[in-house]
Structure 1
Amino acid sequence: MTLAPEGEPAGPVQWARDALRLRWKRRRTLWRSLRSRHQLDSVVDRTGAIRSGQILAFTTLRNEIDRLPHFMEHNRLLGVSHFLVVDNDSDDGSAEWLAEQPDVSLWSTGASYKASRFGVDWLGWLQMRHGHGHWCLTVDADELLLIPHWPQRTLSDLSAWLEERGDVAFGALMLDLYPKGPLAETDHRPGARPLETLAFFDAAPYRARRKAFEWNLWVQGGVRDRLFFADRPQQAPTLNKLPFIRWNRRYAYRNSTHSILPRHLNLSYDGPGDDRASGILLHTKFLPSAVERSVIEKRRREHFGSPGQYDAYYDAIAANPDLWTVDSVRLRDWRQLEELGLLSRGAWR
């Protein structure tokens, strides 16, 4: 059962007005993406190698050389054939490393991440230009998608099953992983698999509600809610995403991959407890480097719409916290997450 939007249902007149407003909002969003192409410089363009039916991955990143080898390995095994990447002014070798990968097309930009709606405009142009008709995985470099039946089944299997059902979108919960002990003191070798370091997560609680008008879901909870936003839970990070979609050039992500237009696509996922097939985005933010990066990102002010409201959040991470408690759960596999109600295979048996 789909979680009902707050304030629904509306009368036919209001419905028509909402539809018109949403149509113009989607067009404005697409125009932003089209215009943003002027901010992108092609570093290496291998999109001519893309073939019909291939699964594509889209990401924007900055200084992720530590995560990139495993990020690429994981997604190749998952079934991604080609990566379309926007590098936002990295200075740690990320761009140089990516340019050498035979299945990567790379663009660079020094423009504002925040002004681009946190990279959504840049990727929106690339999705419009290259993603139409393809199943597209849109993820950050610190996110690893886990699907039911992995590793026996891949995104090719999942997309084929979704198409048989007439579905075009697949939802996932972003699950924050963390180590045991203070972050900066965690033993982590540069380039090592993040899951070797980040072994724990919060199994509960998670709360979900659906907003009216755009029908976008809003899931909050987990370790960041518990530790950094206990006194202001309404500001805790949004954890629901729609990362895997059969793309149409008329689609437009609105807020990262948390929501999308047309709005009916937002009804594809209801968050934890949904009885339809869903996945998990394993969030590897809390490597030891998170402590230093929090200091840098607080200064850059590029990651939140009202960054001053999150100074305390950055300061708390910079203080080198221990996120682990006796209630923390060690990550095993997708079956464990299904038992906990965080992932579902639904009818995909």
Structure 2
Amino acid sequence: MPGPETRHEPDGQSALGRQLSDAFGTPKADELVLPKDGVVAVILAYNEVLRFPYFLDHYRRLGVGHFIVVDNNSGDGTGALLAGQADISVIETKQPYRDYKSVWRQLLCDRYLADRWVIFPDVDELLVYPGWPDLSIGDLTRYLDAGGYRALFTPMVDMYPDGPLKDLSYQPGESFLESCPWFDSDGYRYNPLKGSHGKRYKTPVRHVFGGTRERLFHQRAKRPRTVLDRLLLGSVFSLRAKTRNSALGRKLDHLLFKLVKNALPSPAAVQSKVPLLKWQTGMRFSGGVHGIDRQVAVAPDWGALLHFKYLDDFRSKVAEAIARKQHTDNAGHYLDYDTQMDRLMDEGLRYAGSRRFDGVSALVECGLMRESSGLASWRPGSDQA
């Protein structure tokens, strides 16, 4: 249970207070009341009335103690849905998402959540991890603390329905997994970022790429794959490859990656995040929560963010994103979605490599989740406990 509430009184003349007021366009961001302990979720939202009921149910069942929701000018009733819920603090802002998405998270965490566990899910993402659903997020963070870890790495796993998207009729509060239980079981890789971005954002050392989004939307490469490419992608850069954390190991990774990068799709969407962090003041994200600008002790275990983009509002969400132009590259990825929209609506997303999610063991078997012997022996009910 969350401890007593702590009121953080505004000191309007402080530099951080001024930054908060400027970034959100309201002094409310400097006047929140939060529980003293427990995991806090920081969420950026725009028009999410369809997903919020089940999203909140999932994270409350995990044991998240409080939600800070930045409502970026929603017009679909999101604000009314969230109002009056004791475990939710809402900050309404009209500031442009594209300019402030990282700043909002960072300032809130610096102000309220230093040295506390924070989770950063989007409203279409459900965090799962080894031991879910029996292992609470509080117990997971206690395991992470005991091991000296300050972050959990997660592939993003796109989930989709059995048939055409036009046949979906999802209703608020229904299980995301019952509507969209399928995911791509193959077609992923685990490699470093290219160029200066990878050098600036030191955690994680590697990211996951591929999966559903690349299969459907991003297949262009500069050259065909060779035997060497297939060998490296099937071993050094496979999902099951070990992370090289040393400076020499990172350099070797980048050298080997140069050999294959021209055989890989471009653009390539990052399909992993570091959504669960013990916040350190001054941390900076790479746009979303894909990378952090300092070295952080990441657990050997992987969770997963089950990603529910493909509900029956997919067409309207894509049109909305293109019109707002608040996402990376003026919503360039959403333009790619739009070119395939009619096919997805009529044919759906399933293919020969689709697998039905029947628990986290399905992700472990595909390499999309990892459980160390430490966590396996630590958590209650484990065969090794």
- TM-score, L = length of structure 2: 0.75
Counterparts of 2:128 and 2:148, CA distance in 1:
22
Q: 1:194: Cα distance to partner?
A: 1.5
Match of 1:126 in 2: 108
2:316 is the counterpart of 1:292: yes
Q: 1:315: Cα distance to partner?
A: 2.9
2:92 is the counterpart of 1:99: no
For residues 208-219 of structure 1, what are the structure 2 equivalents within 5 Å? 208-211=190-193, 212-214=198-200, 215=202, 216=204, 217-219=206-208
Q: Is the 8 A contact 1:46 1:104 kept in 2?
A: no
2:216 is the counterpart of 1:227: yes
Q: Is the 8 A contact 1:114 1:305 kept in 2?
A: no
Q: 1:33: Cα distance to partner?
A: 11
Q: Is the 8 A contact 2:41 2:68 kept in 1?
A: yes
Q: 1:177: Cα distance to partner?
A: 0.3
The correspondence for 1:240, drawn from 257, 272, 275, is 272
Q: Is the 8 A contact 1:62 1:89 kept in 2?
A: yes
Q: Is the 8 A contact 2:182 2:355 kept in 1?
A: yes
Letter in 1 for 2:298: S
The correspondence for 2:298, drawn from 268, 271, 280, is 268
Gaps of 5+ in 2: 1-14, 222-264, 377-385
2:306 is the counterpart of 1:324: no
Letter in 2 for 1:238: V
Q: 1:44: Cα distance to partner?
A: 9.2
How many residues are matched?
A: 308
Deviations 1:70-113 (A, max 9, x none): 11111111111011110001111111111221101110111111
Match of 1:143 in 2: 125
Q: 1:128: Cα distance to partner?
A: 0.9
Q: Are residues 201 and 308 of structure 1, via their aligned partners in 2, closer, same or farther at CA, if it must alter by over 3 Å?
A: closer
Match of 1:20 in 2: none
Q: Is the 8 A contact 1:42 1:106 kept in 2?
A: no
- TM-score, L = length of structure 1: 0.82
SS in 2 for 1:348: helix
Q: Is the 8 A contact 1:58 1:136 kept in 2?
A: yes
Deviations 1:125-164 (A, max 9, x none): 1111111121001110111000110121111111111111
Match of 2:56 in 1: 72
Q: 1:308: Cα distance to partner?
A: 4.7
The correspondence for 2:186, drawn from 191, 198, 204, is 204
Counterparts of 2:138 and 2:67, CA distance in 1:
16
Q: 1:318: Cα distance to partner?
A: 5.7
Q: Is the 8 A contact 1:37 1:122 kept in 2?
A: no
For residues 21-36 of structure 1, what are the structure 2 equivalents within 5 Å? 35=19
Match of 2:371 in 1: 345
Counterparts of 2:31 and 2:369, CA distance in 1:
35
Q: 1:34: Cα distance to partner?
A: 7.1
Q: Are residues 329 and 33 of structure 1, via their aligned partners in 2, closer, same or farther at CA, if it must alter by over 3 Å?
A: farther
Q: Is the 8 A contact 1:43 1:99 kept in 2?
A: no
Letter in 2 for 1:337: L
Counterparts of 1:186 and 1:101, CA distance in 2:
29
SS in 2 for 1:70: helix
Counterparts of 1:72 and 1:158, CA distance in 2:
19
Q: 1:191: Cα distance to partner?
A: 3.3
The correspondence for 1:48, drawn from 3, 23, 33, is 33
- Max Rg structure: 2
Q: Are residues 156 and 182 of structure 1, via their aligned partners in 2, closer, same or farther at CA, if it must alter by over 3 Å?
A: same
Deviations 1:8-65 (A, max 9, x none): xxxxxxxxxxxxxxxxxxxxxxx999735424236799843411x3110000000111
The correspondence for 2:168, drawn from 186, 197, 212, is 186
Percent identity (aligned): 30
Q: Is the 8 A contact 1:294 1:317 kept in 2?
A: no
Q: 1:305: Cα distance to partner?
A: 2.6
Q: 1:314: Cα distance to partner?
A: 2.6
CA RMSD of aligned residues (A): 2.3
Letter in 1 for 2:84: E
Q: 1:169: Cα distance to partner?
A: 0.7
